[in-house]
Structure 1
Amino acid sequence: MNDEHETREEYRRELENRINQRVAENNANRGEGSNLPPKPPIHRPNRGDGYKWARRVILLITLIVICFAGFEYHKLQSTAKGIFATGDGKVDTKIKNGDPLSILVMGTDVGALNRGNTGGNTDTMEIITVNPKQEKITMTSLPRDTLVRVNTEDGADYVKINAAYSIGGAKQSVKQVKELLGIPIDYYAVVNMGVMEKVVNAVGGVTVDNPFAFTYEGHHFKKGKQHLNGSDALKYSRMRYDDPNNDYGRQKRGQQVIKSVISTFKKKGSLTAANKILDAVGDRIQTNVPTDSIGALYSNYRVAMNNVSTYHFQGKNATIDGASFQIASPKEINRVSKLIRTALGLKAKHVTNAETRMYNEQTDYDGYNNVNFVLPNNATYNVPGSGTSKTSSESTSSFGTSGSSNFISNSTTTSGLGF
C-alpha cells in the first residue's frame, strides 16, 4: 500500500483484481470453463538436499565403525592384561616411533605360566626381528643344545642354552642370547608350546609344505602342501627323531607353522582376529611388552607381515661328559649376528665372547672327526664353579658383573620391563 496515493480500501480492491486476473489466466491455459484447480507449483528438489543425506549416512557408518573399533580395542586391552606387562601409562618410545624391534621367543612345555616365567628348560628359541620400515619380519632359530657359559654365584656354569631359563628365568635367557650373538634384545615372550594348537585354530588352520612323509602321534603327514588344524600343526612341529636333520628339521617345520599363522592373520588383519588369538592363548604366554603399547604395536608393525624370512643358527656337533652339544663357532656366531643386526638396521660388529674363546682354545676338536670338546680349566658340564680357580674366579666375577650391568641398562632403556 502506498500511503501517499491509495487508501486502504483502494489497495484491497486492487489486490482482489490482481488475484482474479491470475485465476482467469490459469483457467484459460487449462481450457475454457475448466473447473479444475490450478496446477500446483512444480517443486524442483535442491541437489544440496541429497548431498546432505549422503553425508549423514556416511557419518553414521563412520561412527558405527569407530564405536566398533573402540569396542574391539577396549576388548584387546582387557584380554591382553593377563599376557602383557603392566605399563606406566606411556607408550614405549621405540614402539611409538615404529623403530625396528627384536624379540626372543622361548617355547616351553611347563604348563600354564606363572608371572615369574621360571621353571623347566626352553624347548625352542626364536629370535624375531620386526622392521616396519623394511616391511619385513625375520625369524632365526637357535639350537637349544648350544653350549654357553652362565655366570652364577658359585662360579661359571657350562650348560646348554635352553637351561638358562631354569637358572634365571626369561631374563637370564635374554642375557645369554645377547652375549652369544652380540645383538640387542628389546623384548621377550615365553610361550607354552600347547598354545600353538589354539592359535592355529583361531586363524582357521595353517598351510605347510612338508619335505618328506612321516607319521607322528597317530597322524600321517604326507609329502607336499597340506592344510592342518591346530592339533595336527602341533604334532607336525614337534616331530624330531625321524627327521634326517634332527632338531634343525624340527626348527624349520615350527617356522613353517608360525610363518603361515602370520600370513593368515595378515589377510584377516583386524582387531577381531587379534582378540581371537589373545582369547586362545590365555595364560599360556607371558611377555614384558607393556600393555600401554599394544595399540601402537598393532598399528605400527603389522605392515612388517608383508615379508617373513626364516633362518637358523647352524652349530657343530660336540660331546662333553657324555652329553651331546652344539658348538657355536666364531664364524657362525658372526654370520648370524650380522644377519640379525642388519635386519634391525644396525651395523655389523665382530663378536668376541666366552663362547668364541672356548672354541679357539680347543686343540683337537673339529666338530666332524673329533667331537670331544674340552671345557676351560677341566670344568664339568652343569656343575657351577667346577672349573674355577682363584684367577679364573676373579675373571669370571668381573665378566659376570659387566654382563649383568649391560643387560640391566639395555632392558631399562628399551622397555622399562622388557618383552
Structure 2
Amino acid sequence: MRRYQKVILSILIVLVVGIIGVTIYGMQVYQETNATFNQISHAVDRKTDKREEAISIEDRDPFSILLMGIDTGALGRTEQGRSDSMMVVTVNPEKKQSTIISLDRDIYTQIVGYNTIDKLNHAYAFGGEAMAMDSVENLLDIPIDHYVTINMQGMRDLIDAVGGIEVTNAIDFTLEGVHVPEGRITLDGKTGLAYARMRKQDPEGDIGRQRRQREVVTKILQKVMSLDGISNYQKILKAVEKNSKTDLTWNDMMDIGTNYIPAFTTIKQEQLQGEGQLIGGVYYQLLGTNQLLHTQNLLKEQLQLPTNEGLTQGDEYTNGSPNYQLYDDSLTFSEENSTTGE
C-alpha cells in the first residue's frame, strides 16, 4: 500500500487522540469509509468565531481541532458525560509540524454560553461540542476550527482493532478490576483503556494520565501506519462508527490526506497545567499567567496568527482580574517531541 493511502488512514488518528482512521483501499473500503463518515459527521452550531476569514483545507491553510475523550460508552455509562480528556491539535503543512496540547480537565475557566466559571470539562456536559469549543477558544485565544470526540468504548475497540499497542508502564496498578503490570507490555483494548484512564494511583495525578494519553495517541498512529490489509481497516471503521463524532466531512478528510502529509512527519507535544487549589471545597487547576501566554502564543505561531506580549486585554477571564484566578508563575512547562512515519 502506498504512503499516501496510509496517511489518509492515520490523519484522524492523530486528530482524535490518535483514534479515528480512514483509507482508500479499493472501491469497497472507499464506500465503507464514506458511509462511516456520513454516520459520524455532525455539524456544530457555534456561538463564537475568532476567524475573520474561513480557513480552506483545500488550500492547505493551517487549522486547529479540539479532541475530546468522553467518559461514557462503557462501564454502563450512557449519559451525556464530560470531556475528561481534551487536546488541542494544530496542523501546519508549511512548517511540516503538528502540535498536541493537553488541557487539564480541572482548569478553572469561563464556560462560554453558560454564564459561569467552572472546570473546563464541564463545558461539554453543559452544552456539548459547541460549548466545549467556545470555552477552549476563549481560554486559549485562538480559533478552534473543528472537533472530534470518541468515547471509552471507541478507545477500547480501536486499540483492539490495531492489534494492541506496546508501552513501557512505570506503575503497576489495578483499575476497576483490570491489572496493568509494570514493565514493557502489550496493551489490548481492555488494559489500554485502563492505562489511558488511570489517575489516582499516579503520583502526578491527571498530569501523568495526560502524558499516557498522548503516548497512546502516538502508539496508535504508528501502529496504523504499519498496518496492511483490508480487514484491519474494516475493524478500525467498525470501532469508530458508533463511538465517535466529528464535524469534518469525507471531503475534508480527502483534502487532508492530499494536502497535509508534511504536517504529520513531526508531532510536538506539550501540556497546559496549573496549580491545584481548593475553591469552596472543590479542586481546580489555576493557570499561571506565563504558561497560559506561552501556550497561546505557541498555538498562534502554528496557526500563523499574530502573537501577544501579554494576555488578551478586555477579557475578564484571561487577564488576571479578581473574577478569574491566575497566579504569577515562572515559565515551566512539559514539552515532548515525537516524529512519526514509516
Alignment of 1:348-363 (within 5 A): 348-349=307-308, 350-352=310-312, 353-357=315-319, 359-361=320-322
Among 125, 135, 144, the residue aligned to 2:86: 125
1:106 is aligned to 2:68? yes
- 1:235 Cα shift? 0.7
CA distance in 2, matches of 1:274, 1:346: 37
8 Å CA contact 2:70–2:152 kept in 1: the answer is yes
Identical-residue share of aligned pairs (%): 31
CA distance in 2, matches of 1:362, 1:308: 36
What is the number of residues matched between the two proteins? 290
Q: In structure 2, what is the equivalent of residue 413 of structure 1?
A: none
Provide the alpha-carbon RMSD of the alignment: 3.0
Q: 2:153 aligns with which of 188, 194, 197?
A: 194
Which of 149, 168, 173 is the equivalent residue of 1:214?
173
d(CA) in 2 for partners of 1:298 and 1:142?
27
Matches within 5 A, 1:88-99: 94-99=56-61
Which structure's residues are more often helix, by fraction?
1
Which structure 2 residues correspond to residues 200-239 of structure 1 after superposition, within 5 A?
200-239=159-198
Amino acid at match of 1:145: D
Determine if the alignment matches structure 1 residue 336 to structure 2 residue 295.
yes
Do residues 265 (structure 1) and 265 (structure 2) align?
A: no
CA distance in 2, matches of 1:128, 1:364: 26
C-alpha distance in 1 between matches for 2:38 and 2:180: 37
- Residue of structure 1 in register with 2:250 after alignment: 291
Whole-angstrom CA distance in 2 between matches of 1:224 and 1:104:
32
Structure-1 residue corresponding to 2:273: 314
**Alpha-carbon distance between aligned partners in 2 of 1:355 and 1:362, rounded to the nearest angstrom:** 7
* 1:269 CA drift (Å): 7.5
* In structure 1, C-alpha distance between the alignment counterparts of 2:327 and 2:289, rounded to whole Å: 13
> What's 1:379 paired with?
none
**Secondary structure of the structure 1 residue equivalent to 2:111:** strand
Please, what TM-score do these two structures have when normalized by structure 1? 0.62
Shift of 1:270: 8.1
Larger radius of gyration: 1
Seen in structure 2, the aligned counterparts of structure 1 residues 309 and 269 have a Cα distance that, compared at 3 Å, is farther
How far apart are the structure 2 equivalents of 1:105 and 1:158? 21
In structure 2, the partner of 1:182 is: 141
- Secondary structure of the structure 2 residue equivalent to 1:130: strand
Q: What is the TM-score of this pair, normalised by structure 2?
A: 0.75
Unmatched segments (≥5 aa) in structure 2: 1-23, 44-53, 330-342
Q: Secondary structure at the match of 1:170?
A: helix
Q: Which amino acid aligns with 1:267?
A: S
In proportion to residue count, which structure has more strand?
Answer: 2
Deviation at 1:85, TM superposition (A): 3.6
Match of 2:98 among 116, 137, 140: 137
Deviations 1:110-143 (A, max 9, x none): 339xxxxx93321111111222333333211101
